[in-house]
Amino acid sequence: MKKILIAFVSVLSLNLLFSCQKMSDYELSGTVFIEDPYYPGLPIYSEWGYNTFGAYIDRKPFISTDYDLPVKLIANSDTLHMIFRGRMGQKSVDMTFSIKGPTPSSYEDLIELDETNYNLQDTGRLVKLKIDGTTTELRIIEGELKINRVQRLFVDEELSRTIMSGYFRFKTFLYDEPVAISQGRFDFGIGYENFYRY
């Protein structure tokens, strides 16, 4: 009877250990949205890998959701594409930043982008906005994309993902009218599921 009880406790302990590990993996890829008290509708700026982003398009919040993968990074031989996917009210919106230049070969190498600033008016910079299936290549009046911090996240001494956090803002034209994208902030965990190189 004592052996059966010890075996039962051992199996229960292993199940608890594995379910904690699964919960931890889910939490690392899930979205944690904490609203910014100073900018209603937007997430706070963080550097913890909360998998969120947000910005005002004029005064309308464009934010990540729990349903969509908030970012995909696609690295070609000479261009890095960052696709932010979310919603603005009921509309599905993708914002893509394309940056020409040297690109990381893996999500581990994103650390090279730590403290990098991009002037979005420079040659080799492109921003596209896709709203409900209609894509517009934006003409930038002024603006910047800042990657403030890139850090590696290790779980059990193995690299789990790379956390990339920063800010963006720019002025452009949308539907033949000047528009400001302001208070943009992002905090992403980049790993196997959202980094592509081809």
130 domain residue, yes or no: yes
Q: List the domain range (segments joined by +) for residue 137.
A: 31-197
C-alpha 17/C-alpha 178 separation (Å) is: 54
CA 32: distance to chain centroid?
12
What's residue 114's pLDDT? 98
Close Cβ partners of 76 (under 8 Å, ≥ 6 residues apart): 103, 197, 198
Cα(first)–Cα(last) distance of the chain, in Å?
A: 59
99 domain residue, yes or no: yes
For the segment 118-146, what is each residue's pLDDT rounded down to a tens digit? 999 999 999 999 999 999 999 999 999 99
For the segment 24-67, what is each residue's pLDDT rounded down to a tens digit? 554 556 899 999 999 999 999 999 999 999 999 999 999 999 88
Q: What is the DSSP string of 172-198?
A: EEETTEEEEEEEEEEEEEE-TTTEEE-
6 domain residue, yes or no: no
For residues 73-93, give the mean pLDDT: 97
For residues 185-191, give the mean pLDDT: 97
What's residue 101's pLDDT? 95
167 domain residue, yes or no: yes
178 domain residue, yes or no: yes
What's residue 36's pLDDT? 98
What's residue 67's pLDDT? 87
158 domain residue, yes or no: yes
180 domain residue, yes or no: yes
What's residue 27's pLDDT? 58
Number of domains in the chain: 1
The angle formed by the CA atoms of residues 111, 145 and 63, to the nearest 5 degrees, is 100
Q: Which pTM value belongs to this model? A: 0.85
182 domain residue, yes or no: yes
Q: Are 128 and 135 in contact (CB under 8 A)?
A: yes
